[in-house]
Chain A
Amino acid sequence: MTETFAALAEPNRFRIVELLRVGARSVNEIGERLDIKQSQVSKHLRVLKEARLVEVEARAQQRLYGLRAEPLRELNDWLARYRDLWDERFRVLDGLLTELEQKKERVHARRHSPKRK
Chain B
Amino acid sequence: MPADIHRNENESLTRAGTQVERASGRELVIRRWFRARPRTVFDAMTKPELLRRWWAPAGIVLIECEAEVRVGGRYRYVFGRPGEPSMAFSGVYKEVVHGARVVYTQLFEPMPDTGDGLITTTFAEQEGGTLVLQRELFPSKEVLDGVIASGMERGMRETLEQLAVLLAELPA
A residues near B, CB below 8 A?
A: 1-2, 5-6, 8-9, 11, 14-15, 74-75, 77-79, 81-90, 92-98, 100-101, 104
* A85 engages B164 (CB within 8 Å): yes
Q: How many A-B residue pairs have C-beta atoms within 8 angstroms? Tell me.
A: 105
- List the 9 shortest-distance A-B pairs measured between CB atoms, nearest first: A97-B36, A87-B18, A83-B20, A92-B54, A2-B145, A93-B54, A1-B149, A9-B25, A86-B18
Do A97 and B25 have beta carbons less than 8 Å apart? no
A89→B151 contact, CB < 8 A? no
Inter-chain contacts of A97 with B (CB < 8 A):
34-36, 40-41, 44
Separation of A111 and B2 alpha carbons in the complex (Å) = 51
Residues on B facing A (Cβ under 8 Å): 1-2, 17-22, 24-25, 28, 30, 32, 34-37, 40-41, 43-45, 50, 53-55, 57-58, 141-142, 144-146, 148-149, 151-152, 155, 160, 163-164, 167-168, 171
Q: How far is the CA of A5 from the CA of B28 in the complex (A)?
A: 13
Report which residue of A8, A81, A82 has the largest number of chain B beta carbons within 10 angstroms of its beta carbon.
A82
CB atoms of A79 and B21 under 8 A apart: yes
Query: Does B25 lie within 8 Å of A90, measured CB to CB?
Result: no
